[in-house]
Amino acid sequence: PAAVAVATGRAATRGILVRDAAVLERAGRVDVVCFDKTGTLTRGEPRLRKIRVMPAAPVALPGEPQSQPNHVGLQEDEVLRLAASADATSQHPFAKALVQAARERNLVLTPPSNVQSYPGKGVVAEVEGRRVIVGSRRLLNEVCATTEARGDDPSAEREAEFDDAGSVLAAVDGRVAAALSFDDPLRPDAAAAVSELRDAQVRVILLTGDRSVGSREAAEAAGIDEVHTGLLPEEKLEQVRSLQSGSAVVGFVGDGVNDGPALAAANLGVTLTGTSDVATGAADVTILADDLRRIPELVRLARRTLRVIRQNLFWAFAYNIVALPLAAGGHVPPAIAAGAMMASSLTVVLNALRLRRA
């Protein structure tokens, strides 16, 4: 239809690439939008803020004898060097931040071997013959056999220390060596985008794999009340499907490999330019402009497009119901009937062109 063509063109001029016409129809019905945090609500350029060397406990990996505490004097720079080496091949923003921090300290990285990547959790690798784990407590829970090493210490003090330090831990040769915290500034347009979505009666939710206190702080700064933290990729997918089962039309905004399943399952998948190939391939819409406010703008444009389509259908049916019987009965001269047909088509086109000013 003319309205869809005009709206798609208008979206493109605003830096919003729509995959196909059906996307606009779904965008116009969206009533829930879920955001990822890192790289979506935030700039996706985290900086290592602090390394907190932890009093460690032995870690025994499945199928291996329990390690002995043989790296008591492991220093902060050595922890960073090993963790950055293990993460050197990862594309996760936190991994890039570790590598950058190591380079800023002029630390020499070693290419890792036997790298095992756990999406949404972290990495296990061998660096210079040492087994290095960099990731969440959930990852340590999976690969470590002892309760102490897995971060399940019932001590409230230890629990608070982990959470306050951030969601990334580094374990080296049988020891939880350090907790790593990162700063990732909120996008300056995040709060405005959330506010505009709420003004459009859209429910906004944050779904993030991060467990840190910073996730809730970022949500609060953006004006988001509903927050789900510590989610794996499949758990983000479950959240989207749960919302859909309640008759919600769900939009998901993400940028990374971890967001691929949720982006594909959402009624409207939105990604930002410069994101991973997995996210871009799964998304229905790519925002080229570096501005989250394009998302509520897309919703408003799509809703207006649906209204214009309904108006155009009204004019088309009105002509067919009124003019055609008159022309068929000879009550209207053929020339006038043809003119009325042209006028009807012109009305539809001109009405659609109003979307250029949307």
Q: List active site positions.
A: 36
User: How many degrees, rounded to 5, is the angle at CA 266 between CA 264 and CA 271?
Assistant: 65
Q: What's 67's DSSP letter?
A: P
Task: Retrieve residue 50's tokens.
Answer: 């602090």
Nearest Cα to Cα of residue 97 among 181, 40, 13: 181
Q: Which residue type does 252 have?
A: F
Q: Are 234 and 259 in contact (CB under 8 A)?
A: no
- The single residue listed with the structure tokens 């998948």 is 269
Nearest Cα to Cα of residue 348 among 307, 313, 318: 313
Q: Are 180 and 168 in contact (CB under 8 A)?
A: yes
Q: Which residues contact 21 (CB under 8 A, 6 or more apart)?
A: 4, 8
Q: Which residues face 246 on adjacent strands?
A: none
For strands 268-272 and 285-287, give the pairing: parallel
Neighbour-count burial of 305, counting CB atoms closer than 10 A to its CB (0-12 exposed, 13-18 middle, 19+ buried): buried
Task: Retrieve residue 24's tokens.
Answer: 């606009």
End-to-end CA distance of the chain: 17
Q: What are phi and psi of 49, to 5 degrees?
A: -95, -40
Q: Which residues face 152 on adjacent strands?
A: none
CA distances in angstroms from 321 to 286, 313, 317, 327, listed in the order given: 41, 12, 6, 11
Q: Which residue type does 96 have?
A: K
Residues 114 and 116: their CA atoms lie apart, in Å, by 6
Radius of gyration of the chain from its Cα atoms, rounded to whole angstroms: 27
Q: What are phi and psi of 175, to 5 degrees?
A: -135, 135
